[in-house]
Chains A and B, each alone.
Chain A
Amino acid sequence: MKVTTHHRLGALALASCLTLSGCMSSGSGSEGEAGDGPITIGISLPLTGDFSEPGKGVQRGYEAWADYVNDNGGLLGRDVELTILDDQSNADRVASDYEKLINQDGVDLVFGPFSTRLVVPAAQVAKDYGFLFVEPAGAAEEVFTQGFDNLFYAAPAVADDHYNYLADAIEALPEAERPKTAAYAAMDDPFAMGTAYGLKTRLEAMGVETVVDEVYPPNTTDFGSIAAKIADSRADVVVGGTQYQDAVNMIVSLRQLGYQPKMAAFSTAPTNPEFPEAIGDETEGILSPTGYTPEADYPTNPEFVEYYTEAHGTAPGEDEANAWTTGQVVAAAVEAVGCADPDPECQGQLIDWLRENEVDTVVGPLSWDAEGRPEGAHLIQQYVDGEIRIVLPEEAKEADLILEKPTW
């Protein structure tokens, strides 16, 4: 009995070795033929699992961009072809996906995945193979302090700077009219915390006292106790470092407790089209930073909005815009350098070009510092008369900033 077991195991191990190598390498073939065929671009996105909702938005943006490029003569005269894998919202998978895209599918370029938590492991793989890594969603400060010299964030500002215009506006108020106290509640997520703490740093510097500072785990669904703390503090300003549903839950809980702040700012959620649906009529005055608005008149934006709306029936959101921007940034480098292949020399040239130059995108002109941080700021939006409008900065505003938030 034992005899056969050992024999069979050996044979089985050998056989599985072979089939493993054999079966899984079947998809390769496009390797090494630079020049004629389409330019292949490899992407891994969270299409299932916890980050799947924004992941799908990014996917729509990438696909729209590729279609648009192909409708308009391609890149360097070649069509672009996307290979999108699903990383199941898992860090191990995202690294293995880029490993596969680069080594087995032989892609010419890679685009970044979604969510800060997945960007770092993915960027590591890209860096090890010398690939340029432009990403649509890794805004947290930590992404830029890891020593990635191949990484560029394709959005106007890093998380900590999202509220800069709002902080400027508050600072511009006469001392007496400024809020006195502020309450912060942020999801334990590098991006969400980054936004809230960026504003916290600015407000504290102005002398706004922090009365509540709560961090909650990403899986929190009951906000009763957090809301109780905030309500009890009667803070003038409430700042939520939120993703989506946590903002909805928190606002509902705050309303259940009858808390009425003078100013309420939440990241990400309010820009979501489903937000007013979930909150109802009580959105008036809620503030939110955004990196994108379909109304912006940056050179390429109207075209993007038109093209996207035609294909999907709705205007693009921030995730779609960031994906499109990623495409634009890489395309600009490719056109300027004149190459798009996995060769480290070509990738190196692309990286060098982006370091030195500014790119016009649908979110405005972008340029980067040495670590890949974009050097812009986010717009501030607010619900005014039931619609989300840009209120800051002055020169881009569509409506006036409401300083005293109506009751919710």
Chain B
Amino acid sequence: MRSVSRAVGLLVLAVAVLAFPSLAPDPFILSVGVVIMSYAVLATSWNFVGGFTGYISLGHASYSGLGAYATALLVIHTSLNPWVAMLLGGLVVAALAVPIGIASLRVRGASFVIVSIAMVLILLLVFQSWGEFTGGSNGLRVPRPFDESVLRPEQHERFFYLHAALLAVALLAWWAIDRSRFGTGLKAIREDEDKAQSLGVPTFNYKLTAFVISAFFTALGGGLYALWFGFLDPIFQFSILVGSYMVLMSLLGGIRSLFGPLLGAVIVGYAVEFFKNQYGDTQFHLVAMGLLLGLVVLFMPDGIIPALSSLLNRFRPQAASIREVSAGDLAEQRRTASAATSTDDESTDRLSEGAQR
């Protein structure tokens, strides 16, 4: 029963994605679809580290930007096949992510965020200044993977499917990790890093591996986008806003759910178009994004999917066995319960101490 429903759900999702290009009334809508798919790829890739380990990176634009430039430079200088170049670019970025990960994951939390933001800023400086290699502020034209006879709307369609394929691979990888021992270890880190460590989880190696996988997929997403968009400019590639969009999407959809980032990408991607249509000539889009992020953090830190599920579950017979509740849910329940019952500050604070140490 359950697997049938799941299969049906997935099928509907797949049909919706596959049918979108033929449903789109004009190439502009199709191009918006490509952008949303690209968001979905990036957000899902971000979620390898954000969702599994709970380490929030505000600077994943570093890896999408690096992936984009690596792909473009490989295509331009080595005349490699663009798709091979993209894959190679992803591997190069994954290799670069190892030392970055080592530096930023040795210490907990705060330093990780600071490094993630610093990476974006430093790469922006480097790619702007190193003009001979990166094109600098003049930007970099990326040659098209398809020849001139493939018209622009056709390009959009092909890239839509390519992004969808990459997304499927990323989702599959996330799903596989989610079910593996490795994934369990990562989630243990998310819930309580100290306990995980004392239970024998090699926390540092696990975190680093998740981080590198995340960087790899993010770089592929960046590379694919570069091949589609055809023009790279450091100030738009290495932008903190791009990275924060990934966070917002994942968080909004739900970082613990497989499809959370995808859902978040669809909502945010649509909202961006909507806000631009409604409040086009003002800076309101920044305010709107800020408010949305703030609201999600304050009131819905687990995202829409869990929030909706729990709402829905209230109205249906409780069929779920204990196994349906993850360790994370249980931990959270305990936490809220204890926070609710204990009115004095001390016990809450001890919890916070424990979690941070």
Which A residues contact B (CB, under 8 angstroms)?
1-14, 16-21, 23-25, 28, 47-49, 85-86, 88, 90-93, 95-96, 99-100, 102-104, 117, 120-121, 124-125, 128-129, 140, 142, 146, 188-190, 193, 215, 217-218
Q: List 6 A-B contacts (CB under 8 A).
A: A1-B320, A2-B2, A6-B5, A19-B270, A25-B29, A86-B276
Q: In the complex, what residue of chain A is closest to B7 when comparing beta carbons?
A: A6
> What is the CA–CA distance of A24 and B320 in the complex, to the nearest angstrom?
40
Nearest residue (CB) in A for B128 is A188
Report how far A96 CA is from B23 CA in the complex, Å.
19
A290 and B318 CA atoms in complex are apart in Å by 75
Provide the residues of chain B in CB contact with A3, threshold 8 Å: 1-2, 5-6, 9
CB–CB B28/A96 < 8 A: yes
Asked whether any CB of chain A lies closer than 8 Å to the CB of B193, the reply is: no
Interface SS, B side: helix
What's the dominant secondary structure at chain A's contact region? helix
Do residues B283 and A48 form an inter-chain contact, with CB atoms below 8 A? yes
A25 near B280: Cβ-Cβ < 8 Å: no
| Contact A48–B282 (Cβ < 8 Å) | yes
Given A14-B15, A99-B31: A6 and B6 within 8 A (CB)?
yes
CB atoms of A86 and B16 under 8 A apart: no
Min CB–CB distance B325 → chain A (angstroms) = 8
* In the complex, residue of chain B having the shortest beta-carbon distance to the beta carbon of A18: B23
B180 close to chain A: CB less than 8 A: no
Pick from B236, B266, B285: contact of A91, CB below 8 A.
B236
Stretch at the interface among B86-94, B131-139, B200-208, B343-351: B131-139
Inter-chain contact A5/B257, CB cutoff 8 Å: yes
Q: A24-B32, A91-B231 in contact; A5/B305 too (CB < 8 A)? A: yes
Which B residue's beta carbon lies closest to that of A13? B16
Q: How far is the CB of B242 from chain A (nearest CB, A)?
A: 9
Give the size of the chain B interface in residues (CB under 8 angstroms). 67
Residues on B with C-beta less than 8 A from A16 are 266-267, 270
B14-39 CB mask vs A (1 if < 8 Å, else 0) is 01110110011111110111011000
Asked if residues A2 and B273 are in contact (CB atoms below 8 Å), the reply is no
Q: List, in ascending order, chain B residues with CB within 8 A of A129's CB.
A: 152
CA distance A88 to B13 in the complex (A): 33
Q: Please name all residues of chain A whose beta carbon is closer than 8 Å to the beta carbon of B28 when the two chains form the complex.
A: 24, 96, 99-100, 102-104
Distance in angstroms between the alpha carbons of A253 and B153 in the assembled complex: 52
A-chain residues with CB within 8 Å of residue B309 when the two chains form the complex:
1, 4-5
Contact (Cβ within 8 A) A140 B129:
no
Contact yes or no, A86 B138, CB < 8 A: no
User: A17 near B282 (CB under 8 angstroms)?
Assistant: no
A6 close to B35 (CB less than 8 A): no
Complex interface: chain B residues within 8 A of A4 (CB): 309, 312, 316
A7 touches B5 (CB 8 A): yes
11 further A-B contacts with Cβ under 8 Å, apart from A86-B280, A104-B29, are: A6-B13, A13-B17, A17-B16, A19-B270, A24-B28, A25-B25, A49-B283, A88-B285, A90-B236, A188-B136, A218-B137
Given A24-B273, A100-B28, are A124 and B230 neighbors across the interface (CB < 8 Å)?
yes
Q: Which residue of A lies closest to B15 (CB)?
A: A14
Q: Is B102 close to A, CB under 8 A?
A: no
Whether A188 and B137, one on each chain, are in contact in the complex, defined by CB atoms closer than 8 angstroms, is yes
Contacts known (A4-B312, A13-B266); A99 close to B27, Cβ less than 8 A: yes
| Contacting pair B151 A128 (CB below 8 A) | yes
**B161 on the A face (CB < 8 A):** no
B152's closest neighbor in chain A, by CB? A128
B230 cross-chain contacts in A, Cβ below 8 A = 121, 124
The reply on B141 being an interface residue by CB < 8 A is yes
A218 to B19, CA, bound (A): 44
User: B residues 257-277 with Cβ under 8 Å of A?
Assistant: 257, 259, 262-263, 266-267, 270, 273-274, 276-277
Residue from B16, B27, B35, B324 having most chain A Cβ neighbours under 10 A: B16
Please report the C-alpha to C-alpha distance between residue A21 and residue B266 in the assembled complex, in whole angstroms. 13
Which residues of chain A are near B262, meaning CB under 8 Å?
9, 13
A257 to chain B, nearest CB (A): 25
A121 to B231, Cβ gap below 8 A? yes
A66 to B2, CA, bound (A): 63
Closest CB of chain B to A42's CB: distance in Å?
Answer: 11
Shortest CB–CB separation between residue B326 and chain A, in angstroms? 10
* A residues near B147, Cβ cutoff 8 Å: none
A189 to B320, CA, bound (A): 60
Q: Are A120 and B231 in contact (CB under 8 A)?
A: yes
- Minimum distance in angstroms from A1 CB to a CB of chain B: 5
**Contact partners of B136 in chain A: CB under 8 A:** 188
**Does B125 make an interface contact (CB < 8 A)?**
yes
A18 to B29, CA, bound (A): 11
Most buried by A among B27, B137, B267: B137
Which residues of the other chain, B, contact A28 by a CB distance below 8 angstroms?
25-26
Contact A120 B139 (CB under 8 A): yes
CB neighbours of B11 from chain A (8 A): 10
- Measured CB to CB, the closest approach of chain A to B297, in angstroms, equals 22
Separation of A1 and B311 alpha carbons in the complex (Å): 11
Q: Which residues in A have their C-beta under 8 angstroms from that of B9?
A: 3, 5-10
